[in-house]
Structure formats: structure tokens, C-alpha cells
Structure 1
Amino acid sequence: MLAALRSALYLLLQIIITPPYALITLACFPLSAHGRYRVTSSWTHLMLFLVRVICGVRYRVLGADRIPKIPSIVLSKHQSAWETLAFQKIFPPQVWVLKKELLRIPFFGWGLAMTNPIAIDRSSGKAALEQIVEQGKERLKQGFWVVVFPEGTRIAPGKKGKYRIGGAWLATHAKVWVVPVAHNAGEFWGKNSFIKQPGTITVSIGEPIDPAGMEAAELNEKVETWIEKEMIRIRHLET
């Protein structure tokens, strides 16, 4: 009951705060891409603060010292809306590969568009891969990291989706490191779940992978193997 009340308060504040913040973000359009990112990410930091103090959702990061000093590609497990917030605080300035439908969401989507994402039509196959490579290389040159959720959608804890090749394809073509990430955010903030359960989310960052000499399928399989094994280890840490 208490978790439900806290979650309701968090949602109410989010509803109140987001529309004016989106308008502020739109007004920042003349700024540089990094300037707009700083403005939009401040909303993210505020949401993380609120979900921590109101709902008791905290986190810890294992392997933070493994984060490279140069722009790289994050390939991560996707369980919750939480990681789309927290990664903006854990990793350097970033853009996401996401489905273009998200940009149509009033206020939230408008602000999201100002972060310079790589918005794709996932049904377009090879054209989507070409877009990821072209725009991904451009974002990396601008000094942004690229965040990709290979499973494409949020997957419930204990389950595994099909790992799509887009992120690995970009890495092998752009010749930049891949940083695999596992986490258990879905245990506390589930997919489409109104209630946020108090507790500490574990985020585990793996050793960066150099894609040199690797095919995209091989790299994708290596990332998938590490993430899924690490998910099991994280689950055992909590028991």
C-alpha cells in the first residue's frame, strides 16, 4: 500500500514537471547538440532524484572503472524505464537508438527529439541498419556515446529476448569499443508497472570489447553471452 502511494506521488510530480520542462527543452533548439543534452538530462537527473527519495529506488554500479574515456557503444539489457534515466548519469553524454514512434509522445517525445536520437523504423530491415551506421558514426564523431538495447524492447526479469544485430553492426563498421551492461532494474520498476518497489538496483559494466577483426554476428553473440551470464550472477548476489 505504501509503495503504491509513493508511486502515485512520483507519477503526479512527473506529470506536473514534464510539460513545462519539455517546452524549455524545445526553446533550447538553437543550442549545440551537447548544450541541448545538458538541458534535457537535467530533467532525467531530477526524475532519478524523485524516484530515489519518494519511492526508495536506489542503485549501485559494479565495474564503473571499466568505462572508457572515449566515445563507445553501450549494449545493454533492457527491463525498465529506469535505465533510460540512469544511464544518462552513469555514462558520458549519449544518444539512443530507438523506435521513431517514441518521438510522437506529447511532451516526453518532444524533449526526447532534442537529444538527437537515432530514431529508426525497426521494420525497415537493411535500411535501418544503414541508418544506424550513418547516424551512429556522426554522433560518435560529435563526442556522443551510442546506447543500444539489442533486445529492442523491455524484457521481464528472468526472460531473454532476441538480440538484434544493429548495435554490433555499428561497432564493427565504426570500429569503436562496445561496453556490455547487465542490470536488474525490472525487479524494482517493471515493464508498464505503476508501482516502484524500494530497493537497490545493481548495474554491472563489463570489460570493453574491441570489435577489430570480428564480424557483427560474432560480436553480438559475445555480448549476449556475457550479459545473460552476468544477469544470473546479479540474481545470485541478491539472494
Structure 2
Amino acid sequence: MLLIRNLLYWLVVVFITPVFFVLLMISLPLPRRRRHIFGVTWAMTLLWTLEHVVGLKWRVIGAENIPDTPSVICSKHQSGWETFALQKIFPYQIYVAKRELLWIPLFGWGLAAMNPITINRSDRARSNQQIIEQGRERLSHGFWITVFPEGTRVPPGVPGKYKLGAARIATTLGMPLVPVAHNAGEFWARNAFLKHPGLITVVVGKPILPVDGATPESMMAEASAWIEARQSEIGGTGPNAHPGQKRVHSEDTRAA
């Protein structure tokens, strides 16, 4: 049954991706926020399919912490699931992404139409400048900015090295930094064909404000400490959980 559910999910991916790619290309002359409707709808369709076909449900703790003004979303990165779900949880946003993603047929071209901040990770000095320059321009259009500070997907239970890009945007542009923890990787492993049913927990922290005296280092230290503490609290419930975190599932963490 798990295989059949996943095959149905992948059939939806194969069917709708070209359709939404064409819609994105047609919408290029439109204002950015209107253009984003098509990309967000693609993500919401796949999120719905994961929930109702595969059985991968989710809950959000701390939604009341989401600010009213554009902010930097500083999220744990374990799977592809959060790239869909963050677009549901937060207002219109753009991602900071490595430029190589733009070279992927259809997906990359559609991503380019969504105006991400793209960086060359091999040139760190230039990438930091690109993040700020492009971030300022995206903020002028009212977009939130999503950053995965570890830079790549990290397995559950393994803390990555948090880079300063998200905090640099926050301090330079005067934006709140919103930390986000989740355990999606326990149900959707990196590069895995199979996605497992279950209940993903997302925790949104209180915004960290770029007050006087705040530095990228101090803001990221606070954000990473908060995220990793929450990861320890919510981890261990999925089939791909780190062996050191696995625990007996309680009633409130089982899939309905």
C-alpha cells in the first residue's frame, strides 16, 4: 500500500509539473506576486497529495509567533517537504538557493520565474554580497525571505553547520529572524523515493529582532541554539529518525 500511495504521488508530480511550468512561463509579464500564485499552487497541490494520498500529515506549533511584517525565515532543512509547507505556513516568500538548481529542466526554470536569491557557493565573498543585494530588492516587493542556514539537507538528529547568511540579511536589512524547527526528514529522507505516512511537527519560534548591538554571529547563535533544542524535543517519532532519538510514539504524534 505504501508503494502504491507513493506511485500515485509521483504520478501527480509528473502530470502537474509541466502544466504549472507552462503557466509560470505565460505569467512572466505579470507582477511578481501574481506570478507567484502559480508556483505556490503547484506546491500546495503536492502538499495536499502528500497529506491525503500518502498520509503525511502535519501540525504547526507557535503560529502566533509569525510577525506581521516581512521577515527572514530561518528553517531547519531535512527534506523536500519543508519547501512546500513553508509556503503554506508563511506569507509570499522567495528562497535563497544555490544557482545549480536553476539548471534542472522544468523545475529549475520554474524556480527562476519565482525570483529566488541565487548564489554561487564556491565564491563565498561574492555570494554574501549577492544575498544582500538581491534580498534588498526582493524586500522592496514585500517578499519574505526563506533561508536554510545549514546550506543543504541534513539527516535527522545531526546538527549541521549554521552559516550566517540569514542573520546577515536580518541585520543589514532590519528584518526579524524567525527560527523554524521540524522533523520532516524522519518521514521523507533525503533523495528517497518513498515518503512515509505520519505526523510532521513544525515549531515556529519567536522572532529574533535586529536590535542595536545585534550581530549576524549573535543572532545566528541564538537561532541555531533554539532550533537544535526544539529538534531534540520533537525528533524520534518517524521511521527515518536518528537511532539515538527514536522513541515510542505517543497518541498525539501518530498519524490520524
Both structures adopt the same fold (TM-score exceeding 0.5): yes
Q: Could you say which residue in structure 1 is the equivalent of 2:118?
A: 119
Match in the other structure for 1:182: 181
CA deviation after TM superposition for structure 1 residue 141, in Å: 2.0
The amino acid of 2:93's aligned partner reads Q
TM-score of the aligned structures, taking structure 2 as reference length: 0.90
Q: Which residue of 1 aligns with 2:75?
A: 76
1:135 aligns with 2:131: no
Shift of 1:211: 1.6
**Residue in 1 that maps onto 2:225:** 225
Query: What is the 5 A alignment of 1:33-112?
Result: 33-112=32-111
1:138 Cα deviation after fit:
1.5
Residue 214 in 1 paired to residue 214 in 2? yes
Q: Which amino acid in structure 2 is aligned with residue 232 of structure 1?
A: S
Give 5+ residue unaligned stretches, structure 2. 238-248, 251-256
Amino acid in the other structure paired with 2:66: I
Q: Which residue of 2 aligns with 1:152?
A: 151
* Distance in 2, Cα, partners of 1:143 & 1:17: 28
Q: Deviations over 1:129-149 (max 9, x none)?
A: 111011111211211000000
d(CA) in 1 for partners of 2:127, 2:236: 37
Q: 1:194-209 counterparts in 2 under 5 A?
A: 194-209=193-208
Structure 1 residue ranges without an equivalent (≥5): none
Runs of 4 or more, structure 1, over 3 Å off, are: 236-239
Q: Deviations over 1:96-116 (max 9, x none)?
A: 000011111111111111111
Report the TM-score when normalising by structure 1. Answer: 0.97
Equivalent position amino acid for 1:170 in 2: I
Question: RMSD over aligned Cα, in angstroms?
Answer: 1.2
Per-residue deviation at 1:235?
A: 2.2
d(CA) in 2 for partners of 1:75, 1:138:
19
Aligned residue type for 2:129: E
* Aligned partners of 2:12 and 2:46 also within 8 Å: no
Alignment-derived partner of residue 235 in structure 1: 235
- Structure in which a larger fraction of residues adopt helix: 1
CA distance in 2, matches of 1:177, 1:138: 17
One-letter code aligned to 2:69 = I
CA distance in 1, matches of 2:122, 2:4: 39
Which amino acid in the other structure matches residue 72 of structure 2? I
Do the aligned partners of residues 206 and 50 (structure 1) sit closer, same or farther apart at CA in structure 2, a change above 3 Å counting? same
Structure with more contact order per residue of length (Cα contacts < 8 Å, sep ≥ 6):
1
Q: Which residue of 2 aligns with 1:163?
A: 162
Q: Quote the offset at 1:23 in angstroms.
A: 1.1
The alignment covers a number of residue pairs equal to 238
User: What letter corresponds to residue 200 of structure 1 in structure 2?
Assistant: L
